[in-house]
Amino acid sequence: MIYLKAISNYIPSQVIDNIENAKAFSESESFIINKIGARQLPRLPYDEQASDIGSAAVRALCDQHGLNFEEIEALVVITQNGDFGGLPHTSAIIHGKLGLPEQVACFDIGLGCSGYVYGLSILKAHMQEMGFQNAVLVTADPYSKIVDSNDRNTSLLFGDAATASWLSVNGEWEIQRPLLATNGQGYSALVKQESLVMDGRSVFNFAAQNVPDQINNYLEKFNLVHDDIDLFLLHQGSAAIIDVITRKLNYSKDKFIFDIENTGNTVSSSIPLLCERYIKESRFNKIVISGFGVGLSWATTLLSKKVSI
């Protein structure tokens, strides 16, 4: 069995004041707080890359949770904005920056906001195939590299952050089989051209129309009801998107966490940033996580605490 054992993060200290930022677009503080949800957006220093924040997250994981570099057998990075446009793979660059042993499998996964759910499943399967005991899943997708600061649709939304998750044969949280989905006909809703181009309405409608159904289907498929679930940790797209998904699901609102006040939408890091906080709490045993976005891609799975005999 492969468990999610621990998570650590790295959030750049340099931030943009999003309230000030919004004035350039004649948007009110109320809009920023109530509809976006982010007062500040962390920003990678100009001369840093995905590998820098990814490395920092892995170092934090090892320092905070006692994982030795020599124990890491695979390092996987979820990013679509890797160093050098993704060639070489950012996981290899992080491998080099950390000085990891040669016998470490490194590869990147080119996914965005659904990436963490996909990534847990892929790395778990890889570990089981290879007989690995310890591996690290990194999310490091700095959208500041591709967002046009003059674009109202995107410059008020995204923040930079990285996380590192320790997957191990020892741990508490079982990673269950996910539901994975794609709508490639909707790809144009989020595209990187000269900069990121986002059709906000299409992304909003996609999330509202697909994510509640997938969560409901997940519960039904695995013989669960929403009362069985302690928390629903959704990709933190924006306050408006979390609101509409919560409304459509019509479960107890207490079970839905929303917190991007100091981070903004951190793409594939948004779910592990929340998980890091909540998997430490002994009162939670079943957490549904659901990521959705660029692709269009969406994925849902359950983290469930191992039952002690």
Q: How far is 9 from 72, CA to CA, in rounded Å?
A: 17
Told to check if 208 binds another protein by CB under 8 A, we report yes
Q: Classify residue 102 by its DSSP letter.
A: S
Told to check if 202 binds another protein by CB under 8 A, we report yes
Candidate residues 93, 244, 267, 273; the one interacting with another protein per rule CB under 8 A: 244
CA–centroid distance for 290 within its chain: 9
Told to check if 205 binds another protein by CB under 8 A, we report yes
Q: How far is 122 from 48, CA to CA, in rounded Å?
A: 28
Told to check if 243 binds another protein by CB under 8 A, we report yes
Candidate residues 204, 222, 278, 284; the one interacting with another protein per rule CB under 8 A: 204
Q: Which is nearer to another protein, 133 or 205 (CB)?
A: 205
Q: Which is nearer to another protein, 34 or 128 (CB)?
A: 34
Structural Rg of the chain based on CA atoms: 18
Told to check if 23 binds another protein by CB under 8 A, we report no
**Candidates 66-74, 170-178, 240-248, 288-296 — which segment interacts with another protein by CB under 8 A?**
240-248
Shortest approach of another protein to residue 210 CB, angstroms? Answer: 12
Q: Which is nearer to another protein, 201 or 306 (CB)?
A: 201
Q: How far is 152 from 25, CA to CA, in rounded Å?
A: 6
Candidate residues 200, 213, 222, 256; the one interacting with another protein per rule CB under 8 A: 200
Shortest approach of another protein to residue 159 CB, angstroms? Answer: 18
Peptide bond into 88 cis (omega under 30): yes
Q: How far is 158 from 200, CA to CA, in rounded Å?
A: 13
Query: Strand (E) positions, the chain?
Result: 3-10, 15-17, 40-42, 74-78, 105-109, 134-140, 162-168, 173-175, 179-182, 190-192, 196-198, 231-234, 286-293, 297-305
Q: Which is nearer to another protein, 30 or 308 (CB)?
A: 30
Q: What residues make contact with another protein under the rule CB under 8 A?
A: 27, 31, 35, 199-202, 204-205, 208-209, 238, 240, 243-244, 247
